[in-house]
């Protein structure tokens, strides 16, 4: 069993606890070398699967067969790897480079990034399992009811690539890896209030998240990672547009950018955007949504809009001849569309991509707060780390005192964010038999918090007061961190920004 296989075999609820599979100890670790190798092993497995899928697509081998995103079935054990030693080494160096750029804060550290990456990986595997279950159910139903044609699919249109496209799986784990790099251990609101250089640079909008994205891709563009980039974004990839050799890179960047930005849960605008996309994708009536089987693509819509602008005067002249004007516009549109897409495969319409992106947004948000939907011990571990990070910020004179309403605040967070998020995971219908697991665990943790939370909060407060010199507002073991310098604590996590 490979390391990637062992990581994928972990149960969701106990992810990050001490577990061993054969020779691999995959329990929680604070060692950057260990965590880096785990993430790199997953990324390597999915990049290998993506390269093999591209090769099969070019040769026509996958014409009637969908690849899988599961490493232990996509890695093609026994076959020669399509990734060179150089690519594998650069991938590991990239992960280590990103790890080195995480600050030593209590919660938003590389240990948190590792936990989020593994959680994101597990969520993608749950989709693969859900797709496999739905296929089995449909096959059984068809055998029992051969005349029942209503059972086309248990998965909403546009979501199949989530279980068949290894690069989407790669993007999800990659997003977990980089989503908090260079985080200062303080909420975005503090950076804005202090007029931090990053807040000025990013105009007070999703400051930490946008900084993390820029750092991750600036590093990826360095010459030291040329071979890695070529493996990730080959110019002859079928998904690359004929008009741009960098379309695979742009597509990857756009996905990662959206995923990381939606982890800014303190941004009302960003969260409203994510919820609106989810409502449009999963709560509108089927008749109100554009079907993914429609012949009208997003490119065609854009071209129609261009033509309407370019030919406004012409349409005015043809006002008395609406049929002729309409035909002229349609013909010109189709001619241009055929010319631009003569070498490209048919594309999905915008509603399919939006629906898929919505599911991925729910998953990365879940991975970011995975501890709230996992075992009680995992929840308490990360809850304490977030509390300590906020306490450190408070004693540095930079933020509020978390002791004042920590118990009530966690209940409000469960009711207002965690449970609705778990409900959306169930509603999107892609996790098969695992659909209700996240909501069940969230409710169980909330129930236990209501019973045991007060005592735990007393313990947190007592430990914090022992570790910090209240009179001088300084930690006993270290000076207060300068506003713009790396912090000097330990740990990791992610909720308040």
E-strand stretches of 161-269: none
CA dist list (Å): 263 to 99, 257, 409: 19, 10, 19
| Domain spans, the chain | 3-236+244-289+348-475, 298-341
- pLDDT the model gives residue 433: 86
Res 34 pLDDT > 80 = yes
Q: Using 50, 70 and 90 to split pLDDT, how confident is the model at 453?
A: very high
Q: 99, 115, 39: which is closest to 71 by C-alpha?
A: 39
Q: Which of 201, 40, 186, 183 is nearest to 114 (CA)?
A: 40
| pLDDT greater than 60 at residue 162 | yes
Q: How far apart, in whole angstroms, are the C-alpha atoms of residue 253 and residue 260? A: 11
Is residue 152 packed enough to be buried (19+ CB in 10 Å), middle (13-18) or exposed (0-12)? exposed
**N-to-C CA span, the chain:** 38
Q: Which residues pair with 469 in a beta bridge?
A: 474
Architecture of domain 3-236+244-289+348-475: Orthogonal Bundle (1.10)
Confidence of residue 482 (pLDDT cuts 50, 70, 90): very low
pLDDT tens per residue, range 388-442: 999 999 999 999 999 999 999 999 999 999 999 999 999 988 998 888 999 999 9
Bridge-based pairing of strands 24-25 and 20-21 is: antiparallel
Cα 311 to the chain's mean position, in Å? Answer: 41
**The pLDDT value given to residue 379:** 97
Which residues lie closer than 8 Å to 57 by C-beta, 6 or more apart?
A: 238
CB 204 within 8 A of CB 497: no
| pLDDT band at residue 353 using 50, 70 and 90 as cut-offs | confident
User: 154 or 91: whose pLDDT is higher?
Assistant: 91
pTM: 0.78
SS3 (DSSP) at 496? coil
pLDDT band per the 50, 70, 90 thresholds, residue 339: low
The first and second tokens of residue 285, run together, are 């009536």
**pLDDT reading at 134 higher than 70:** no
The helices-and-strands tally (H runs, E runs) of the chain is 21, 4
CA distances from 448 to 256, 293, 435, 445 (A): 35, 46, 22, 5
């Amino acid at each position: 069993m490979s390391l990637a296989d062992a990581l994928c075999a972990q149960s969701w609820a106990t992810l990050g606890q001490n577990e061993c599979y054969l020779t691999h100890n995959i329990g929680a670790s604070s060692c950057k070398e260990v965590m880096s190798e785990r993430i790199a092993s997953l990324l390597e497995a999915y990049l290998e699967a993506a390269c093999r899928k591209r090769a099969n697509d070019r040769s026509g081998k996958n014409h009637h067969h969908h690849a899988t995103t599961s490493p232990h079935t996509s890695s093609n054990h026994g076959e020669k790897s399509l990734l060179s030693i150089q690519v594998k080494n650069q991938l590991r160096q990239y992960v280590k480079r990103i790890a080195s750029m995480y600050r030593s804060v209590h919660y938003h550290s590389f240990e948190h990034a590792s936990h989020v990456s593994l959680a994101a990986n597990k969520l993608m595997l749950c989709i693969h399992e859900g797709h496999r279950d739905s296929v089995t159910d449909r096959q059984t139903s068809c055998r029992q009811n051969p005349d029942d044609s209503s059972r086309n699919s248990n998965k909403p249109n546009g979501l199949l690539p989530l279980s068949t496209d290894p690069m989407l799986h790669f993007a999800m784990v990659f997003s977990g890896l980089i989503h908090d790099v260079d985080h200062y251990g303080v909420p975005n609101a503090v950076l804005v209030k202090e007029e931090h250089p990053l807040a000025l640079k990013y105009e007070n909008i999703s400051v930490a998240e946008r900084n993390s994205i820029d750092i991750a891709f600036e590093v990826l563009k360095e010459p030291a990672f040329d071979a890695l980039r070529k493996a990730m974004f080959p110019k002859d990839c079928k998904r690359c547009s004929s008009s741009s050799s960098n379309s695979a890179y742009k597509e990857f960047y756009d996905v990662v950018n959206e995923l990381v930005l939606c982890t800014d849960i303190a941004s009302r605008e960003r969260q409203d955007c994510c919820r609106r996309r989810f409502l449009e994708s999963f709560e509108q009536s089927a008749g109100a949504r554009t079907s993914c089987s429609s012949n009208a693509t997003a490119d065609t819509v854009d071209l129609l809009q261009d033509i309407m602008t370019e030919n406004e005067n012409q349409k005015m002249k043809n006002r008395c001849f609406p049929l002729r004007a309409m035909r002229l516009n349609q013909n010109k549109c189709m001619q241009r569309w055929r010319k631009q897409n003569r070498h490209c495969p048919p594309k999905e319409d915008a509603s399919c991509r939006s629906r898929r992106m919505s599911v991925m947004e729910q998953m990365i948000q879940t991975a970011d707060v995975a501890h709230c939907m996992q075992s009680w011990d995992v929840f308490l571990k990360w809850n304490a780390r977030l509390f300590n990070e906020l306490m450190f910020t408070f004693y540095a004179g930079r933020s509020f005192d978390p002791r004042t309403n920590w118990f009530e605040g966690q209940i409000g967070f469960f009711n207002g964010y965690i449970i609705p998020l778990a409900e959306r995971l169930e509603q999107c219908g892609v996790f098969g038999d695992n659909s209700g697991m996240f909501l069940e665990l969230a409710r169980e943790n909330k129930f236990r918090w209501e019973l045991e939370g007060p005592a735990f909060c007393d313990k947190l407060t007592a430990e914090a007061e022992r570790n910090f010199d209240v009179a001088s507002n300084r930690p006993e073991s270290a000076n207060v961190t300068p506003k713009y310098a790396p912090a000097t604590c330990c740990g990791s996590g992610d909720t308040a920004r």
